[in-house]
Amino acid sequence: MLARSLCGLGRRSVSNDISNLISCKRQLATSTGERVVWAWNEFDPLEEVIVGIADGSAVPPNEPGHLSKVWHLPHTIEDMGTRRDEEKVRKAGAELDNFASVLEQRGIVVRRPTKMENTAVKTPFFESSMMNGWTCPRDSLLVVGNEIIEAPLCWRSRAYEKFAYREILADYHARDPDFLWSAGPHPSLPDAMFRPDYHQDDMTVERRLDQLARREFVTVDGVEPVFDAADAIRVGEHVFVLHSHTCNVLGFEWLKRQLARNGVQAHLTFMPTVHNPSHIDASIMPLRPPTGNDKGIVLVAPPVMDSEIVQVFKEYNWEVLECPEPDDWMGRDPNYKGKSSKWIALNILALDHETVVVADHDVALIRALEEQDFTCVTLPFKNVIEFGGGIHCATQDIRRTGDRMNYFPGLIADA
């Protein structure tokens, strides 16, 4: 009965049960007892990572979550609910493949999502004419220490995105006896989840900022928890979580309790100067921790320079590196059908305390990082950005050397 329970065998034929039991035993027998999943921060030496794919990507349909992000981007809005151009998919796929190759050449293990058919989704609570795509594992999976949490995403077109990573997670589970595989409550995303009449044709940035100052996001509380994994940034014993369109208070509270089991404190933060808030790693990125008398380095976008979280870093011996003004190429390109702003430039990946991966077109940022003694690994990434994000978004680090450290001693999460 124990083996039957472990292997998830139901009331099927005896032959099927025996076959599955043998398969399960083989899987358990191949466990190496190795540490596969282990990442406490954004900057310790990287050993294994997931890199996204461009296959099957779409401009998501007109749904509350998507519209809250792109309400000010008419070229994206006009293409909502369409599959991305095949040539764009090819170019973005080539950039992602090159990215994976660059990492592998540096001795980093790279995994890729399972290719899935982009189909319509129908549940008892909602319908979506298509799915989003699988370019950004950073949004679906949150790795903290030896745990991977599947995030409960609030975009209806993304509710089933996580299944492209199930094969990878099952492999980790078989190989790493200490790996914890967790998931936020699978979201039902009924209409009641979204604030009524949030999107108006005559909306302005000023009016939207007034709404956000009152913390009126497109998602509401009291229905169910939602958060994107990219709403969280990891810094050892502390994880900072952005209250945003994609993360409600209930989602934060669920995540806070989950992380506390692993000795990690979660802190809810807010960025009132961002008019379409979602994903903290497009505004702030810790790159190097404080050591001895040397300050740490945290990269910050100028629009959020006065945010509470930035002040916390300053108080705890982190030097704030202001991201130089990036080229707003997507704002000039009528063929750009993405959702990211120019500040996606700071969405970079640290390979260790001295090495970062940066898009080759972000020349001013590269120069600023080199002045801080970082080695910049540069690569083309413009085509990928349209598919949902930058270099950090397109990855999920699975294993980094180093242990859980407290870079904010004395900082206590609110009860």
HSE at residue 44, side-chain half, CA atoms within 13 A, is: 20
241 pairs with which residues across the strands?
Answer: 232, 268
When pLDDT is cut at 50, 70 and 90, the band that residue 16 belongs to is very low
Residue 239 has pLDDT above 90, yes or no: yes
pTM, full prediction: 0.91
Residue 3 has pLDDT above 80, yes or no: no
13-22, 151-160, 376-385: segment of lowest average pLDDT = 13-22
Residue 309 has pLDDT above 70, yes or no: yes
Residue 19 has pLDDT above 90, yes or no: no
Active site residue 279: yes
Q: Which domains are seen in the chain, by residue range?
A: 36-400 (3.75.10.10)
Active site residue 414: no
Query: Which residues have a Cβ under 8 Å from the Cβ of 230 and sit 6 or more positions away?
Result: 136, 138, 139, 278, 279, 280, 281, 389, 393
User: What is the predicted pLDDT for the residue at 34?
Assistant: 81
Q: Which of 228, 231, 281, 397 is catalytic?
A: 228
User: What is the overall mean pLDDT for the chain?
Assistant: 92
Average pLDDT over residues 8-12: 33
The CA distance from 328 to 342, in Å, is 5
Chain mean position to CA 326 = 22
Average pLDDT over residues 178-194: 98
Residue 415 has pLDDT above 80, yes or no: no
Helix (H) or strand (E) holding 255: helix 249-260
When pLDDT is cut at 50, 70 and 90, the band that residue 18 belongs to is very low
What are the pLDDT digits (tens) for 128-145?
A: 999 999 999 999 999 999
Q: Which of 66, 243, 275, 279 is catalytic?
A: 279
Cβ distance 212 to 272 under 8 Å?
yes
299 pairs with which residues across the strands?
Answer: 285, 321
Residue 307 has pLDDT above 60, yes or no: yes
Query: Which residues have a Cβ under 8 Å from the Cβ of 100 and sit 6 or more positions away?
Result: 51, 110, 112
Strands 180-183 and 82-83, how do they pair? unpaired
What are the pLDDT digits (tens) for 30-87?
A: 445 689 999 999 999 999 999 999 999 999 999 999 999 999 999 999 999 999 999 9
Active site residue 186: no
What are the pLDDT digits (tens) for 199-214?
A: 888 999 999 999 999 9
Secondary structure (DSSP) of 1-37:
-HHHHHHT--S--HHHHHHHHHHHHHHHHT-------
Phi then psi for residue 302, to 5 deg, are -55, -35
Secondary structure (DSSP) of 186-219:
PP---GGGB-TT---TT--HHHHHHHHHTT--SB
Residue with tokens 């890199």: 51
The CA distance from 103 to 36, in Å, is 17
Average pLDDT over residues 21-30: 40
User: What is the predicted pLDDT for the residue at 160?
Assistant: 97
Cβ distance 247 to 241 under 8 Å?
yes
Calculate the alpha carbon distances from 112 to 48, 166, 266, 378 in Å: 11, 11, 29, 21
What are the pLDDT digits (tens) for 344-361?
A: 999 999 999 999 999 999
Residue 339 has pLDDT above 70, yes or no: yes
User: What is the predicted pLDDT for the residue at 200?
Assistant: 87
Write down how long the chain is: 415
